[in-house]
Amino acid sequence: MASSAAPSHHSTSGVQSGDTLSAGPELAVRSQGLDKIFPNGFQALRKVDLAVAKGEVVVIMGPSGSGKSTLIRTFNGLETIQGGHLEVLGYHLDADNNQKVVSKIRHHVGMVFQSFNLFPHLSILENVTLAPVWVQKRDRQTVKKDALALLDHVGIREQAHKYPSQLSGGQQQRVAIARALALSPQLMLFDEPTSALDPEKVKEVLETIRALAAEGMTMVVVTHEVGFAREVADRVVFMDEGMIVEEASPQTFFTDPKEERSQLFLSRIL
């Protein structure tokens, strides 16, 4: 999984529609006063302000129910927003949740889920080629070649013709990463990518994500893996009760947290 063997579409130097970008070319995500209120009235996000620079790796931590998953799910429109403003890769989104904008964002943002969510009726290879063929309408043969290269990159090329149910959790998650990368995203979102894995499988998935970070991919990772955050994150964002409580470099956050709630959280997990 040497990072030097990265296929070209792993680079984050994708074309940027500069004219739609108001906050300078360096930001991948910017949220301002973001509110998320679920139909049952529960407010999951309260005026969240967050900026993620291009090439940056941001790790979001926090107790369960703190809104961290909800936050990154708003970044690709899986959750609608009820207030505030969101800007992802130059596309602007607010409470009207324009579906056209959302679908454009999704073409450039990859997402990896806690429970992998591979398509069980498709082979590993078909899982990876589905979106490039049908969404990007690229040539099947090229897509297949690229997909095999990606699977090789995450170390599962031999399993290309198996089905998800025949793979271990760690392997499935690596396929899910390859599937998201197949669209050459400029931003990758990871929603607790190792939480559903057996302990011995966590490492192989984290290695894959780490390699991706080394290649310069912009990433927002929701995780409880402190070791990973310490090593890979450029910045740790701590959330609680739908608000960002503290933002700091991993060194500062793990050794000298400022806020009481961060200290309490860290004392429980460290």
Partner 1 sequence: MAESPRSGPWSRPLLRQIRRGLFASPLDTVITVVLAVLCGGGLWSFLHWVFLQADWAVVVENIRLYIHGRFPVEQVWRSWSWLGLLGVLCLATLMPARMLPRPVLRLLPLLWILILPIGLLLLAGGLGFEPVKSRFWGGLQLSLLLTLGTVLMALPLGILLALARRSSLPLLRWLTTGYIELTRGMPLIAVLFFGQLMIPLFLPEGWTFNRVLRAVLSLGFFVGAYMAEDVRGGLQSIPKTQLEAARSLGLSPLLTVALVELPQALRTALPSLANQCVASLQSTSLLAYLGLIELLGISRSILGNPSFLGRHLEVYIWLALLYWAVCILMTSLARRLERTLKVSDHH
CB of 116 to partner 1, least distance (A): 8
**Torsions phi, psi for 44 (to 5 deg):** -90, -30
CB of 94 to partner 1, least distance (A): 19
Q: Which is nearer to partner 1, 105 or 229 (CB)?
A: 105
What's the CA gap between 83 and 86, in Å, rounded?
Answer: 9
Cα–Cα separations (whole angstroms), residue 121 to 118, 155, 162, 163, 164: 9, 22, 11, 7, 8
CB of 129 to partner 1, least distance (A): 11
Binding footprint of partner 1 on the chain (CB under 8 A): 76-78, 103, 106-107, 109-111, 113, 115, 117-123, 130-131, 134-135, 163-165, 179-180, 183
CB of 121 to partner 1, least distance (A): 5
Q: Which is nearer to partner 1, 16 or 123 (CB)?
A: 123
CB of 269 to partner 1, least distance (A): 26
What's the CA gap between 238 and 255, in Å, rounded?
Answer: 14
Q: Which is nearer to partner 1, 156 or 183 (CB)?
A: 183
* Bridge partner list, 191: 222
* Bridge partner list, 110: 188
Torsion angle, CA of 146/231/79/163, rounded to 10 degrees?
Answer: 40
Q: Which is nearer to partner 1, 67 or 77 (CB)?
A: 77
Q: Which is nearer to partner 1, 58 or 183 (CB)?
A: 183
**Torsions phi, psi for 68 (to 5 deg):** -70, -40
CB of 76 to partner 1, least distance (A): 5
Torsion angle, CA of 113/259/32/83, rounded to 10 degrees?
Answer: 80
Q: Which is nearer to partner 1, 1 or 102 (CB)?
A: 102
Which residues fall within 8 angstroms of residue 85, CB to CB, at 6 or more apart? 31, 32, 33, 34, 92, 93, 94
